[in-house]
Chain A
């Protein structure tokens, strides 16, 4: 009996020890697997993503020649696609490289007649339906310093597509320069300082400085400066600077986010090789100077209702080819309502004067709603996000634009274009 008890105790002890050993073995194997996954992940320094946009626009436009009163009607449709592949590298903890390889084209049309000047093609990137050649719309390095308060960037930057463009597709902010300030892709250097640590927790203030010069070289001999049509030498560099100050207040009683942005940009001695644009008094120069001030005021989720409102105001002072200063001020209003299920219905209203000029190069829509001077018009849109990262948007641009010498338009028009945009982010 005693032996049996001893045997049972021994067996029990052995079983417990064996079970404990099995549990410990399993724990060790699990730890090893986790360690392996963590190490694999640590080498995963590349992030791939992308956006594909299919776009269809029905054109319905009526023009009137201001000199002859002749009426011209334009009806038809166009379809296009735009693809961007983002390839981002985490070089180290505070050092990143961002790039986007993209192309945009009409369906079954590889390229179109359009702007050929070297600087125009650069600031247009892939957005001018130039064909299926892939272009780098983004290629820049970014360094974070001073505990992320200071960022330095160099390369081809994400300057285009700032607010409120993202609200059309119910997305988070997806670009830098306010949409009504400068819709173009620029190369250069930037320094961004975040003053958040000096402010209350619900407040942000950032200053973004940009230096994005234009360079012109002789197309036949790169060691020589470019020459205009009269054989005059053109300055190799046209300086361009921009300063963007952004103030945000979060979680106030008025709105979940109140934004007030101010952007100044300036460039001078810009050369345009197109005939007829060159100055007779200053050889090799088309634009002596251009100074612009954009104000962006935005309210997101007003009183927790889902209502968004923004007002973009553009003030431009420019001097072209020795003529008098042209000053203009114009506005773009955007009001939209975001339903709880993410649907968005909205309206943009634009009002521009006769001297209005917006560098609207990186566009996706076919109409020129955002570019026309003497413009008074509306853009109605209805957005349906569905499935995972897919957005369908329906809309109409309805506007009347007047005569503008600055843009060399001669017509008074009524345009009513309907469109559908299908966007997939992956």
Chain B
């Protein structure tokens, strides 16, 4: 197996014959070319040479130093998840987690053949999850929070999804199930409200 090409900044040496200089120059130029091509349009491309194809951010152990007039973008491992993208503002300012978790499509929640919850989620910078969708209050009165990773429910917004407009809003109580410290859902307290099935739109913000 041929030895890998290694970039050598200390070549050529004065004492080295020129025949060896040729090899060293070529290896360095080849290695520059190969390394640059990893995330960039190739050095010898007819157009757009130097533009980025993908920016791959290997995991960093600590927050990056950020000077005045700079914003740094880097990747760190997040407990319970994987590598996520972080930003840090200029002058070694605040670091915050920019991406969060992994967005995927959630299935409808059904009771028998009846859909009782359409559920979606996304994220906001700062480790915030946004759960949203619509849910039928009565019979179950539960907004399931999926993915079940919320450590603190911050806000719950509800609006009846109906043509009749004389409906009060139930109170909402986040609840924890078998896993300590994790909120799996929000209970809708409909005591005193008309006992009928009402569909509600919901938006829930939570920390993860």
Partners in one complex: no
Instruction: Tell me the B residues contacting A by CB distance below 8 Å.
Output: none
Q: Which residues of A contact B (CB under 8 A)?
A: none
